[in-house]
Amino acid sequence: MSKNRPTIEHLRIACRHVDELIVAGVTENHAIRTLELFADVYAKTHNGGSASPHHVNQVKFWSVEAIRLKRTRPQAKPKDWLRVEHGTPRRTFARKVMALYHQQELAEQAMNRLVKKFWKLAVITLQEDSRLSKLSKLSFKTPDERWAAAAIKFPKPRKTPRNTVATRRG
């Protein structure tokens, strides 16, 4: 296991740190940044990723437009055309972690439920990101609802074919 993989105890310390900094007069904007990073890396490693920064090549969920752009411009540098997008913004996700902490419910099971419901990465185009930016003041129940509000479309999941071979009872 990576030394950089945050644990629940690390998240609790980061939450306490946020509260202490705010009491000391630091704005939430600065106080919460470490928690944002820890919560994001916790979620990524919980989902099987590494503790390294996000890169488009690590993300499996791509928008239809991002797929199209990659096909039409295979030599294009990802940073010039694409970005890794958090379905629930990191700040919003960190605030949800803080809420668990303040309710004294920040435990592995609760955190894993939070990750499953709210932490989702996607590769989108810069144009799609621009549309998301216009929605920054709004709140959404899920990442998928937020992306739909910005008219970001994703390929339909492939259905697994059913076993069509009849079994014989004997």
Query: To 5 degrees, how large is the angle CA 40–CA 41–CA 43?
Result: 65
> Can you give the pTM of this predicted structure?
0.85
- 154 pLDDT higher than 80: yes
* pLDDT at 160 (0 to 100): 56
Closest to 138 in 3D by CA, of 43, 117, 31, 147: 147
DSSP-based three-state secondary structure for 122: strand
Lookup result for tokens 């890169």: 55
If residue 130 lies in a helix (H) or strand (E), which one and from where to where? Answer: helix 126-133
Predicted confidence (pLDDT) per residue in 43-82, tens digit:
999 988 888 888 888 899 999 999 999 999 988 888 899 9
Predicted confidence (pLDDT) per residue in 18-37, tens digit:
999 999 999 999 999 999 99
Closest to 7 in 3D by CA, of 107, 117, 143, 154: 107
Predicted confidence (pLDDT) per residue in 93-144, tens digit:
999 999 999 999 999 999 999 999 999 999 999 999 999 999 988 889 999 9
* pLDDT at 98 (0 to 100): 98
What does the block give as tokens for 21? 């900094």
Please state, in angstroms and rounded to a whole number, the distance separating the CA atoms of residues 37 and 15.
12
First CA to last CA across the chain, in angstroms?
50
